[in-house]
Structure 1
């Protein structure tokens, strides 16, 4: 059917605006991060997409964990700003931050002799005040976090008695009990065997599917590409590439960032990029 022109003088239909993306829950501008006199990151800008499972990758010493610490306010920038849900994170007190953001650092250390239930319960600290101590809602949050992580049967055991995989699930239960929409996880699969790595990453995927925004530092590129919805690749304190796993995980990017010659194929199980190393390492200048 041929469309008819609008009558003269008829109003032009208003264009329907495209839906805008929700604001980034955490963003940084002009970050300079350093330890004493050693600058690790300088002039870095980053936005974490709302509702994403963002994975940060890069070679050792490139600034991945340093960036995550700054986003989680455990490292104060030498310059630049970090905003949490549109507010300067430095203007927020500790409990305000902890009610919006949960951070699981590398290799956390549990207090001696603490039980699993008590450690998970520490995730409720941001909600405690002089007038509001432990409540039924705190107990419910702890139970739900332990059920979600499969740690209920460990409740009365000491954390020090657990295997590496069990301990990691308990720590994740603690940050889940904190009940925030944003989780930062620094190398959550370090020191775990491959089966426990998959367990932890599947748990992360379920948290993301439940509506949380996750940011994780991972070393394994194939796991990163399989579970991430958004990736950030770093080298020498700078972001080299960011985007979907297929945009970031190209042979050219892997060679530039890691000095590794490879071929990228589609994982036959997930369809995500799979890195197949080739013989010979690329020499860097």
Structure 2
């Protein structure tokens, strides 16, 4: 692996011997990873590699064995409320009630910051507005989810994740239902978040977008087969190998892209 070895204080997430079982099948197999803070890491690999399962395990959404540290602290030592403040989640099947207003859906992201049954604060309102504007969903704030297309809903759910203002954001297939311009907007937003010191970890099927990240985690059969910088030739070679050399990595206009081989 060509990943730099930051100190524990420089890590957003660290796992040791992480394993997970789903429906009596071993999905994750002894994963030990280090994800640097203030960076964008993309998790890639063939279908069934365990990418989404890994993200769910990191989010605490499924049982797992092994250890997980979040921002230098064991996750089982962090309260639910504090964890919800520093870790934000955008999942594939995440949704909300069809009759909910867009504004109210995004305000759900502020619950970890609010006292029980307390009214939203000025900071909550500001965070929700900023998230809606950042995802270009502000104009729909009074509409219900039922009135939105799939791509529009995805941007609202992304806004809900952003409204948490967490230090670490986990995103599973965030480009689903987005057209190319809004996919480009998402990537620009991720770069903005990283510049602000946030850590983004994304599962992506769009390999060319994944290659724009800082780091790649390449999975196969529930194992981590390579972790390194996206620009490294070793990362490109490992990527081509897990996809059976059906893709090739090429430089195009100063970026690396994956094309059919």
TM norm. shorter chain > 0.5: yes
Shift of 1:54: 0.6
For residue 33 of structure 2, the aligned residue among 46, 64, 77 is 46
Give runs of aligned pairs for residues 175-214 of structure 1, distance below 5 A.
175-214=161-200
- Provide Cα deviations, 1:224-266, integer angstroms capped at 9, x if missing partner: 112x01111111111111111122542x323321113443321
For residue 136 of structure 1, the aligned residue among 105, 108, 122 is 122
Supply the distance in 2 between the matched residues of 1:87 and 1:49 (Cα, whole angstroms).
14
Shift of 1:21: 7.9
Structure 1 residue 276 corresponds to structure 2 residue 259: yes
The 3 A distance-change label for structure 1 pair 253 and 99 is: same
Contact conserved, 2:9 with 2:72, CA < 8 A, in 1?
A: no
- Provide Cα deviations, 1:93-124, integer angstroms capped at 9, x if missing partner: 32111111001111312113001100010011
What value does the CA root-mean-square deviation take over the aligned residues? 1.9
- Provide Cα deviations, 1:130-149, integer angstroms capped at 9, x if missing partner: 37442111111111211222
- Residue 3 of structure 1: aligned partner: none
- 5+ residue gaps, structure 2, are 1-5
- Residue 252 of structure 2: aligned partner: 267
Shift of 1:194: 2.9
Supply the distance in 2 between the matched residues of 1:182 and 1:190 (Cα, whole angstroms).
20
Shift of 1:68: 0.5
Q: TM-score, normalised by structure 1?
A: 0.84
- Provide Cα deviations, 1:1-57, integer angstroms capped at 9, x if missing partner: xxxxxxxxxxxxxxxxxx968421211110111113100111110111111111000
Equivalent pairs, count:
255
Structure 2 counterpart SS, 1:61: coil
- 5+ residue gaps, structure 1, are 1-18, 279-285
- Residue 11 of structure 1: aligned partner: none
Structure 1 residue 106 corresponds to structure 2 residue 89: no
Supply the distance in 2 between the matched residues of 1:196 and 1:164 (Cα, whole angstroms).
13
Shift of 1:167: 1.4
Contact conserved, 2:37 with 2:197, CA < 8 A, in 1?
A: no
Supply the distance in 2 between the matched residues of 1:108 and 1:131 (Cα, whole angstroms).
24
Structure 2 counterpart SS, 1:95: helix
